[in-house]
Every structure is written in structure tokens, then in C-alpha cells.
Amino acid sequence: MDFEYRQQGSSILISWPDGQTNNYPFIWLRDNCQCPACFHPSTHERLLFTADIDPDITALSVTGGADEITLHWDEAGGHESHFTGEWLYHNSTAAPKGGTVRESAVLWTAESLHEIPTFDYMEVAGDEAGMLRWCAALRAFGIARIRDVPRADGTVVAFAEQVGYVHDTIYDRLHNVYSDPNAYNLASTSEELKPHTDMPNYFSPPGVQLLHFIDNEAEGGETTLVDGYACALQLKEEDPAAYEILASTDVGFRLASSKGDIIGQSPLIELNNRGFISTIRYSNQLMLPLLIPGEEVKGFYDAYRTFSRLLNSADNLVKFKTRSGDMIATHNHRVLHGRAEFKPASGARHLQLAYLDFDLVMSRLRQQQVAEIGADWSVERFY
């Protein structure tokens, strides 16, 4: 990729054909020298110890052609770094684009989501291209449904292992959901479950929930789904102060089973340091008493009420009867799921559940991108 460059102080300024100019400070260029002495040629991991770079490092000379640049460093023994335009462009020092959620997320409401992205089991489980389409739907919408999944015990775990590997929790790896008189959590009763994310009691909740409806014949028990990112942004728009409270107040959650007793706390709307929403944690049934100064309590409840109204509003929530043999996947850091109350005596209702890391879904898509482009360094970092 052609570019023009000039030195300005301790930086190289590069102007790209698209009009954009980026600033590449010498210390950044020295740190990212791609030579085999600085980056291990087979692992592509850094050998150079970044903290050893002279903070005032300068180049003795900068030479270049139309699409590459070579810097000779002023350091003991000398050192030369070579960069192509393409590499510099893809690893530009431009500030990441602004925004409120990851770029690849397509936000939805009950109206804008015309239908749930739906796949046939054989299309996804039997074919790599189908698996990638499923991953892409999950990345974009945070939900994907698979139809005609074999209604056999353990299929959900086998599927998770086809995507990658299971994310274990204090549930059994293959977790059964049915109405159980000795239930240790509300999901294993026949009560309504308002929209929630699973396992908010972990500091790192599993990123994907896979829910396999082996039998869903009982009366009631309709599935509900809602886009937590979209609702959080509606809250930000409608009541910025409430958004700020939910993004900054730690809330504790607890869930215990025979395998463990896990407590974690985090804001309900977790932001990363660019202000992007990274993780929604919301589970009315698992929330612990708030440990915040008394004078802040009312403000929190007001904000919680407003957010909860958005999450439960018919404008945002989709509600439908899931068929026996369906498998619903949700991005559990984003989309909340729930179910209506059901009548256990009216028919069989048996679900099996397993979790995955969302990183695995992204990894599948990234591997595909690298295979298509053939250049390891050009993968998108933020999406």
C-alpha cells in the first residue's frame, strides 16, 4: 500500500491514500520491529523486552520506497527495522473508532428483529461453512437457533465440543433443567424466569449459553429473549444518570450448588475503558443485598426499575414457544433469556444446557478471516 511519510520530532507521520494520517512514534516502531531477533520467527511472539527500549530512541536514518520504510536505530550495535505499508496501515496508531458496543453487534428490538437467525442442525453440525454462519449470527445478534437437533441425551455437550470446548461451571457439564422438587435454583422449578443472564455470580460469566430443548411439551414455558446492549443504550438515551449508576455500582450475585459457592460483584452494565458496553449481568433471582452507602440506595433502585422496565417491555422482548428439538444459543454477556411459568403436569419439559466461551465463537471467525486473507497480522482487533 503506497504512502507518504515525513519525520516530525520523534515520530514518523504517514499519510495514506484514503487521506488519513497516522503518527508512529519511534518507540512504538522500535517495539514492533518485525525482524527475527525481535519477534520469534515461528511463534510470532515478542523476544524484545519492551521495557528495555531507550525512551528517547531515535532513528539515524529513515529511508523508504512508495510502500515500505526502513529505520536505522541509534542504539548500541545498531539495528534496522523494516515495515511494509500494509502492515503499518493495519496496525495503525489511530485511536479506535468511537462507539458504544462492539462494532459487529447488530442491535435489535422486538420490532427490528424480524426473525431469530435459524439454522438446521445438519447445516451447522455437519458443515464448516454452516458452523461459521452460526458463529456470525451469534456475533451479530447475540442469538441463534438450531432446529431439528437430535433429542438425545448429551447432544448439547457434543455440539459445544464441535464449536470448541465446554466452559464448565458449578453446574454439571451437562446440566439438566426440569421441574425438580429439590431444586437448588429457580430454573429447576416451574416458576416464571424473568429475562436474565446466567452465572452473573462469576467474575467471568460464560459467554455463550446453549439451551437444548429435548422436550418442551408442557403448557406454558414460552422462551423470552431481549438484547441487553440495546436496552442499556435505550437507558443511556432516556436516563443518562440511571445508566451511569448501573455502570458504576457494584452488585453482588451468588449461586451455590454441591460443586461450589460462587460470589462475584460487578456493575450490571460493565463498560470497558473505551466506554463500550462489554458485559451485562442481570439476574433478579441471584442478586445479593446491595452493599452501598444508604444515601445511594434509592437512586440505584430507581435506575434498576427503569432498566428492568426496558428489558421486560413488549417493544424489546421477543416471546415464542420453543419447539422440542431446538437449541437456542445466546451471547450471555449481551442477550438475556427467560421463560414463562409452565404447568409440569401438562406434559414433558426437559432441557439440557452447556456453556461456551464467546471467545471461541470469535476465534472461529478470526481463523476463517486469516485463512481467507492469508496474512496473520491483518486480523481485525476490535469487533
| Residues lying near ligand OGA in the complex (CB under 6 A) | 177, 187, 193, 198, 221, 223, 337, 339, 351, 353
Which CB sits closer to ligand OGA, 336 or 362?
336
168 — phi, psi (to 5°)? -75, 150
With CB under 5 to 8 Å by kind, the binding choice for 351 among Zn ion, ligand OGA, none is ligand OGA
Instruction: Confirm or reject binding of residue 33 to Zn ion (CB under 5 A).
Output: yes
**Cβ of residue 285: shortest distance to Zn ion, in angstroms?**
9
Which CB sits closer to ligand OGA, 127 or 168?
168
Which CB sits closer to ligand OGA, 146 or 245?
146
**Cβ of residue 175: shortest distance to ligand OGA, in angstroms?**
8
> What are the beta bridge partners of residue 212?
327, 352
How many residues sit close enough to Zn ion to count as binding (CB under 5 A)?
A: 5
Which CB sits closer to ligand OGA, 81 or 316?
316
Contact at 8 Å (CB) between 179 and 190?
Answer: yes
Q: Which listed range, 1-9, 28-36, 60-68, 131-139, lies at the site for Zn ion (CB under 5 A)?
A: 28-36
With CB under 5 to 8 Å by kind, the binding choice for 223 among ligand OGA, Zn ion, none is ligand OGA
226 — phi, psi (to 5°)? -150, 140
Q: Which of 56, 210, 90 is nearest to 144 (CA)?
A: 210
**Cβ of residue 100: shortest distance to Zn ion, in angstroms?**
25
With CB under 5 to 8 Å by kind, the binding choice for 35 among ligand OGA, Zn ion, none is Zn ion
Residue 85 DSSP symbol: H
With CB under 5 to 8 Å by kind, the binding choice for 33 among Zn ion, ligand OGA, none is Zn ion
Site for Zn ion in 153-212 (CB under 5 A): 198
- Cα 34 from Cα 185, distance rounded (Å): 53
10 Å CB burial of residue 203 (0-12, 13-18, 19+) is exposed
Other C-beta atoms within 10 Å of 198: how many? 25
- Cα 146 from Cα 136, distance rounded (Å): 14
From the list 17, 20, 35, 111, which residue makes contact with Zn ion (rule: CB under 5 A)? 35
Which CB sits closer to Zn ion, 28 or 300?
28
149 — phi, psi (to 5°)? -75, 135
> What are the beta bridge partners of residue 124?
none
**Cβ of residue 375: shortest distance to ligand OGA, in angstroms?**
41
- Cα 304 from Cα 298, distance rounded (Å): 10
Q: Alpha carbon 230 to chain centroid distance?
A: 14
Q: Which listed range, 4-12, 33-41, 49-57, 98-106, lies at the site for Zn ion (CB under 5 A)?
A: 33-41
- Cα 151 from Cα 215, distance rounded (Å): 8
Residues that bind Zn ion (CB under 5 A): 33, 35, 37-38, 198
